Structure formats: C-alpha cells, structure tokens
Amino acid sequence: MISFDDPSWIVIPIILPLAAGLLCFLTRRWAFAFSLAASLGNLLASGILLKQLLSVGPLSYNVGNWKAPLGIALRIDGPAILMLLMTAVTGLGITLYARGYFSFRISGQKKIGRHERQERFFWPLWMTLWASLNGLFLSADLFNLYVTLELISIPAVALAALSGKPASQIAAFRYLLVSLLGSLSYLLGVVFIYRTYGVLDLALLGSKTASGAGIGAALALMSVGLLLKTALFPMHFWLPPAHANALAPVSAILSALVVKASFYLLFRLWFDVFASTITEPALNLLGTLGGVAIVWGALQAIRQQRLKLLVAYSTVSQLGYLFIAFPLAYLEKGADIWAAVIFMALAHSCAKSAMFMAAGTIFLHAGHDRINDLAGVRSYLPVTVFAYAIAGVNIMGLPPSGGFIAKWLLISSSLNSSQWWWGLIVMAGSLLASVYVFRVVSRFFVIPEGYHVPDRQPHSPLLEWPALVLALVALLLGLIAPYPLHILETGSSLFAMVSQKGLLL
C-alpha cells in the first residue's frame, strides 16, 4: 500500500500534525512524543514529495476525488515544496527547542503552576498551527485558503498570549483584531471574485483573469488583508510587542513561519493568479513600503534596549526585502521571479528562529534581556552565543550565507532592470543590520574586568543546539544555492500546465 509514488503523500503534511494536535490535547503525558513523531514524519513526507516533484513535475491532488471547480485541489510546485521544507526543518528545530525550554522551566519550580499550563497548551496549538501552515502552502482554492488563514491566526494568537503576562495579552488582543480585520478583508475580496467568475480554484482563475473593476477591487482587498497579516511597514505596529512578549519558542514560530505564510499567499496571488491585473504603480508602492520598512525597522532595532524587541524589529526590517522583490519581479519575467523571495524567506526563517531561540536561552539564564547588562554571556552559554552570531551573519547578508544569496539576487536584478535605487536600499539595509547585530554580539563577547562568572545552571542540550543547527543550515544555504534554484525551475509554470490539461469535469 505504501509506495513512494503514491499521490496521497501530499496530504501527509496536513493530516499528520493535525492528528498530533488532537492527540496532544487528549493526553498530556505523550504530547512531546506525538509532536516529535509528527515533525519527523512531516520531514519525511516533504522529502518524498520533493522526490516526486523532481521526477514528474508539479503535483496536483483532488481532495475527495472531486475535480477543480466543485472540489478543492491541492497543488505542489517549486515554491510550495520549498516553503514546505522550510517549515519542516524550522518546525523540527522549534519542537526540539520547545521541549528543552519547557523542561528547563518546569524543573525549576516546586508546585504545579503556569509553566505546566504553558507546556500543556503549547503542543496542541503548535501542531495545529503547523498543519494549517502546510495547508496554506498546498491549497489551491481561494476559500480554503481563507479557512487556513483563520486556522493559522487562532492558534497564533493563543500562543502569543500563552506567557500570561499582561503585556503579552494586550499584544495578543491587538494581534487578534488585526488578523481578523485582515481575514475579513481577504474574504470580501474572495466574495467579489466569486461574484464575478463563479469559481474559486486558483488555476482556473489564472486562466480566466482579465482586468476589470471587480477583479482590481478584489485583489486590492485581498492584498490589504494579507499585508496586515504580513506586517508591512505602516501596518507593522502589532508585530514587535506580540513577538517580543511571547515565550521564546512561540516568538520563533511567529517570526519565522507565520508571517511568511501570508506573504507567500500574497506573492502567489500577484504573480501566478492575477498577473494580468497588476499594474506598475501598485508594484512600486509595495516596493517603496518595503524599502521604508527595511530602513525604519533597522533604525528601530538599533534603538531598542531589550534583546527580544531588537530581534522583533529586525523581523519588520527583513520583511521589507521580500516586498522589494515585487517591482523587480515584474520586470524580470521568467522562472527566477521566485528565487530571491524564496531564498530570503528560507534564510530568514532559519536565522530568525535561531536568533529568538538564542535570545530565549539567554533570557532563561540571565533572568532578563537588557542588552546593556548582558556582557560576558559567552562565558557560560558559548554555543548559544555562537548560534546568535551565525544567525547575525545571515541577517546582515555576508557570504556564504543564504541571506547573502538572496540579497545578491535582489541587487543583480535591480541592476539588470535598471532600477538601481532598490539595490541601494538593500545595501543600506545590510549596513544598518550589521550595526544592530554587532551591537549585541560585541556585548556578548566582551567580558568586563572583575566579571564574576555565574554558576552554570544544568540544562538539556536541546536548549542550545537546535538554534546552532538552524543557524548553520541558514549559513549553508548559500553553499547549496544551485539546488533550490533547480527545484524552482522544475516546479515553475504550474498553472500554465494545469490549465492546458483542462480541469473541468
């Protein structure tokens, strides 16, 4: 029954974490075992899907055997499989780290308290969030995408509020309202699309679209909703408090994965489905907002006094690079429009989760995350500090990291399409990033005179090593750069192919 060519592997990344989430809620004792099994199974399934994709090209799967306009289709092409792999690798790292994090906190206390509550509810929420992320990457149906967006935002909000501090709850409430507004705006766009065309399948829409008032308004509504969720510059206000006040594994999840999901959907809608509707001013507007986000986020990060807030503002800044790709991709048509964006997303996902994990470990040991008082951390947390520094190399975009490749692709395509100003912003952003990275790293490494090394508290290796491994993955991404590019080339132009074959019943 189980063969590697079976088309049903495509649903495994969705139903496996979903089942794990249900079981984690049912029994608390085996929660970590279920989650770990789901993480490993998910990695395996993603690998098999990659193999299938490379041998037969883009995959398509009709849920319930009902074909496209009536049923819901799942599709995998190059970008989708890379996002899936990114989630699988980062998610595995976060799962392991969360285990170390919670057992460290629980071991330090006497009676049943908030740490046990946090661990109890973390696992089901995280597993379901993971399932819905995978569902979003695979789905090819506008309304199903709305449901996955909601199934992302509810666990994400609950996770953000999990720490129980008033600050985190206020931030989570704001996050909930913003993501609700985003979802409703997206849904209204979907309604307009359905009024106009009467179909919801992305490939069918892609073959039909012509520009018109209805489509323009629908795309605008959906885009505004997704931009709110992605926290592009003027709409970023909710992100830093929500990400910085959450528990460390949760911050890693939110910053590395959740914001990428809505961005991925936005990019897909603009360049795969509604490519004929988009106009140059709209692209330039998004590019400009992205550029402002890069500079503004970096300046704010430099100003911060707390480590986690610094890392959160760095996310605002890094998200800007993804939007600079919009005006560049429009003029550089072809297979590589996804390349820079996907590289940026992959590298940022690994590096940012590593950074938040390192920040969380430092917080656990030092009891605070005030940057000015963190001198000498390396004397008792050498691995963590090393991981933070490597992740910083990615964020700055130094070779041979994945971040470097992404920025290099952005700059070269900005020169090729004679839009040099975008390249300038990318470089300025890298310089600013090096300021906020070095500001922290230099503090970590310098041991002041008369420094008394505190006793090293015992902790499991899970608290330190996942961060380092993820940071190294991000670093090595630059060395294996041709391989992801190859995957992207194999899997591109999915929608042209599918609509040629004809999907009608």
Residue ranges in 175-194 that form contacts with other proteins under rule CB under 8 A: 176-177, 180-181, 184, 187-188, 191-192, 194
Candidates 85-93, 141-149, 266-274, 483-491 — which segment interacts with other proteins by CB under 8 A?
141-149
- The distance of closest approach from Cβ of residue 278 to other proteins in the complex, given in angstroms and rounded to an integer, is 17
Cα of 434 vs its chain's centroid, Å:
22
Sole binder of other proteins in the list 170, 275, 331, 497 (CB under 8 A): 170
Sole binder of other proteins in the list 4, 30, 66, 420 (CB under 8 A): 66
- The distance of closest approach from Cβ of residue 448 to other proteins in the complex, given in angstroms and rounded to an integer, is 30
Cβ atoms within 10 Å, residue 108: 11
Candidates 163-171, 229-237, 280-288, 453-461 — which segment interacts with other proteins by CB under 8 A?
163-171
Q: What's the one-letter identity of residue 34?
A: F
Q: Which is nearer to other proteins, 118 or 223 (CB)?
A: 118
Q: For residue 364, give the nearest of 448, 303, 308 by alpha carbon.
A: 308
71 part of the interface to other proteins, by CB under 8 A: yes
428 part of the interface to other proteins, by CB under 8 A: no
Candidates 37-45, 59-67, 272-280, 331-339 — which segment interacts with other proteins by CB under 8 A?
59-67
Q: What does the block give as tokens for 417? A: 């399409």
Q: Which is nearer to other proteins, 125 or 362 (CB)?
A: 125
Q: Which of residues 188-247 bind other proteins (CB under 8 A)?
A: 188, 191-192, 194-199, 212-214, 217
Alpha helix (H) ranges present in 332-452? 337-366, 382-396, 402-416, 420-445
Sole binder of other proteins in the list 37, 63, 295, 331 (CB under 8 A): 63
Q: Which of residues 267-326 bind other proteins (CB under 8 A)?
A: none
453 part of the interface to other proteins, by CB under 8 A: no
157 part of the interface to other proteins, by CB under 8 A: yes
Q: Which is nearer to other proteins, 168 or 413 (CB)?
A: 168
Q: Which of residues 93-112 bind other proteins (CB under 8 A)?
A: 111-112
Cβ neighbours of residue 217 under 8 Å, at least 6 residues apart?
A: 189, 192
Phi, psi of 59 (to 5 degrees): -105, 150
Sole binder of other proteins in the list 43, 81, 161, 324 (CB under 8 A): 161
Q: Which is nearer to other proteins, 205 or 309 (CB)?
A: 205
Q: Give the span between the Cα atoms of 480 and 464, in whole angstroms.
A: 25
Cβ neighbours of residue 382 under 8 Å, at least 6 residues apart?
A: none
Specify whether the CB–CB gap between 364 and 105 falls below 8 A. yes
452 part of the interface to other proteins, by CB under 8 A: no
Q: Which is nearer to other proteins, 167 or 479 (CB)?
A: 167
Torsion-angle region of 367 (φ positive above 0: left; ψ -120 to 50: alpha; else: beta): left
Specify whether the CB–CB gap between 347 and 394 falls below 8 A. yes
Q: Which is nearer to other proteins, 171 or 463 (CB)?
A: 171
**Contacts with other proteins: how many residues (CB under 8 A)?**
74
121 part of the interface to other proteins, by CB under 8 A: yes
Q: Give the span between the Cα atoms of 159 and 151, in whole angstroms.
A: 13
Cis peptide leading into residue 400 (ω within 30°)? yes
Candidates 169-177, 295-303, 342-350, 449-457 — which segment interacts with other proteins by CB under 8 A?
169-177
Angle, helices 482-491/337-366, rounded to nearest 10 degrees? 130
Q: Which of residues 2-21 bind other proteins (CB under 8 A)?
A: 6-8, 11, 15, 18-19, 21
- The distance of closest approach from Cβ of residue 275 to other proteins in the complex, given in angstroms and rounded to an integer, is 19
Q: Reduce the DSSP state of residue 72 to 3 states and report it.
A: coil
> What binding mask, one character per residue, do residues 365-404 give for other proteins by CB under 8 A, x or -?
----------------------------------------
Cβ atoms within 10 Å, residue 488: 21
In terms of Cβ atoms closer than 10 Å to its own Cβ (0-12, 13-18, 19+), residue 210 is exposed
Torsion-angle region of 90 (φ positive above 0: left; ψ -120 to 50: alpha; else: beta): alpha
Q: Which residues pair with 359 in a beta bridge?
A: none
Cβ neighbours of residue 16 under 8 Å, at least 6 residues apart?
A: 38, 41, 42, 45, 131
Q: Which is nearer to other proteins, 222 or 468 (CB)?
A: 222
Sole binder of other proteins in the list 37, 54, 143, 375 (CB under 8 A): 143
